[in-house]
């Protein structure tokens, strides 16, 4: 089992901590409520804590499942873990099989897009609907908005920033909010405490490396997006995201022409933290109309 740490505020995160013992390490998850399955798939430096508002809003009528990827949140953080997007996707598939999750609504964001949608591409009949926001699933390196910072961060300097100084959670995260005041000290502490030192931050730096290296994996996924073209979907987008701007949303709209589209003008990258009530309502509507 994975014991919840003393710094975890149970008034904010009132869920039972559960453990999936994968061969790569123990993975923490929550499984709350009954009804249609909603599976939340986070990115970096996020973990299931970020989905707490959505889980609390939906668990009265839905089965809400949220796992912490290996290297994140309350899951194990092995020093030599495989933190590639492909490895995260494979572990998520094992987790889905382990719980026997069926007829899933996938909610994916940030790196969670390439991680979670792999299941939809391989098992489209097991996915009822898709919710995606501020994410991507194609090679980012041809876009200089990503390739330029990636070149800097994929260096000894970037490694220092991420591993020693916690750049991902201390700098990138607050910068990605549309309204930085929403990331209160109390909330931010739950992300900082999950990544307290250099040894615990290997997975966050691996994400930097994946921006440069996972292009072929993402492009292969994107080539098969036609499998999901008619799937009920919701594209939600925080329009003040400094790192994943609205033009990325247009690519998703073209790939999923039947999807509902909701934009959040005042939200940044972390829509589930910034506009959780509206996002939960939109998810509830999608599930109701797609079942």
Active site residues: 110, 241, 269
Distance, in Å, from the CA atom of 151 to the CA atom of 158, rounded to the nearest integer, reads 9
Q: Using an 8 Å Cβ cutoff, are 137 and 115 in contact?
A: no
Tracing tokens 């020093």 back to the chain, one arrives at 79
Distance, in Å, from the CA atom of 233 to the CA atom of 244, rounded to the nearest integer, reads 20
What are 271's two structure tokens?
């829509």
What are 275's two structure tokens?
């506009």
User: Exposed, middle or buried by CB within 10 Å (0-12, 13-18, 19+), for 209?
Assistant: middle
What are 134's two structure tokens?
């501020």
Q: Using an 8 Å Cβ cutoff, are 70 and 27 in contact?
A: yes
Q: What angle do CA 169, 171, 176 make, to 5 degrees?
A: 85
Instruction: For residue 45, say if its preceding peptide bond is cis, omega within 30 degrees of 0.
Output: yes
Distance, in Å, from the CA atom of 119 to the CA atom of 159, rounded to the nearest integer, reads 31
Phi, psi at 30, each rounded to 5°: -120, 150
Phi, psi at 211, each rounded to 5°: -55, -40
DSSP state at residue 200: G
User: Exposed, middle or buried by CB within 10 Å (0-12, 13-18, 19+), for 1?
Assistant: exposed
């Amino acid at each position: 089992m994975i014991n919840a740490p003393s710094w975890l505020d149970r008034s904010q995160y009132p869920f039972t901590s559960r453990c999936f013992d994968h061969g790569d390490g123990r993975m923490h998850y929550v499984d709350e409520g009954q009804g249609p399955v909603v599976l939340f798939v986070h990115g970096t430096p996020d973990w299931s804590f970020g989905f707490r508002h959505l889980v609390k809003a939906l668990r009265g009528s839905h089965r809400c499942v949220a796992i912490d990827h290996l290297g994140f949140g309350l899951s194990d953080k092995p020093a030599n873990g495989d933190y590639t997007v492909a490895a995260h996707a494979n572990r998520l598939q094992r987790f889905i099989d382990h719980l026997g999750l069926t007829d899933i609504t996938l909610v994916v964001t940030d790196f969670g897009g390439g991680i979670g949608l792999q299941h939809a591409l391989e098992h489209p009949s097991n996915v009822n609907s898709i919710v995606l926001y501020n994410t991507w699933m194609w090679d980012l390196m041809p876009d200089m908005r990503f390739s330029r910072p990636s070149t800097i961060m994929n260096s000894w300097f970037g490694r220092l920033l991420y591993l020693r100084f916690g750049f991902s959670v201390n700098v990138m995260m607050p910068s990605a909010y549309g309204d930085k005041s929403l990331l209160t000290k109390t909330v931010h502490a739950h992300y900082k405490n999950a990544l307290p030192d250099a040894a615990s931050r290997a997975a966050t730096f691996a994400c930097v490396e994946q921006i440069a290296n996972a292009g072929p994996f993402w492009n292969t996924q994107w080539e098969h997006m036609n499998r999901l073209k008619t799937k009920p979907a919701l594209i939600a987008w925080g329009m003040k995201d400094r790192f994943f701007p609205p033009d990325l949303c247009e690519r998703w709209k073209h790939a999923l022409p039947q999807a509902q589209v909701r934009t959040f003008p005042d939200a940044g990258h972390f829509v589930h933290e910034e506009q959780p009530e509206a996002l939960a309502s939109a998810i509830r509507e999608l599930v109701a109309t797609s079942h």
